[in-house]
Amino acid sequence: MPDVKINAKLFAILGTFFLLVAVVYAIWTRGTEWVGIPALFALAAMQYMIAYYLRLVDKEYKTGVDDQEDGEIAEYAGTYARFAPWSWWPLGLGVSCAILFIGVAVDWWIFIIGLFLGLFFVTGWVFEYSKGQHKH
């Protein structure tokens, strides 16, 4: 069973390590490198944020069947999500994402087309259960 306190300590140690690395790197480059220094400080901050979050949720942490060493697979079975049957919206969203990335590489007007297509397909996917055959 994973212990949340151990995980929080691990992330705090990692945050301290990355903070020390960031300070050493800033001294080593004499503060002239403006990509790595903020990235290392941001990495340390993220480690500390995860450690802080794990400490906050320590009291509410509930162990599930997957956390038990003697848990059975049959106990873990169940419905994970609800998916729309025969939905074409995700395919259109994937095509619009491809157009978006092509637009980033080629020109801005292709990006705008992909953006509007993406908004259309996301809206259609979100409201798929609101009208039509699968309305409820």
Q: Report pLDDT digits (tens) over 77-86.
A: 766 666 667 7
What is the total count of domains within the chain? 2
Angle between helices 4-28 and 36-56 (to 10 degrees): 160
User: What DSSP element (H or E) covers 25?
Assistant: helix 4-28
How many percent of the chain have pLDDT more than 90?
A: 56
The residue segments making up the domain with residue 108 are 89-130
Among 61, 77, 105, the domain boundary falls at 61
pLDDT in tens, 92-112: 999 999 999 999 999 999 999
Do 9 and 57 reside in the same domain of the chain?
yes
Q: Is residue 81 part of a domain?
A: no
With residues binned 3-state (H G I as helix, E B as strand, rest as coil), the percentages for the chain, rounded to 5, are 70, 0, 30
Among 61, 80, 99, the domain boundary falls at 61
Q: Is residue 48 part of a domain?
A: yes
Do 10 and 52 reside in the same domain of the chain?
yes
Do 48 and 94 reside in the same domain of the chain?
no
The pTM of the whole model exceeds 0.85 = no
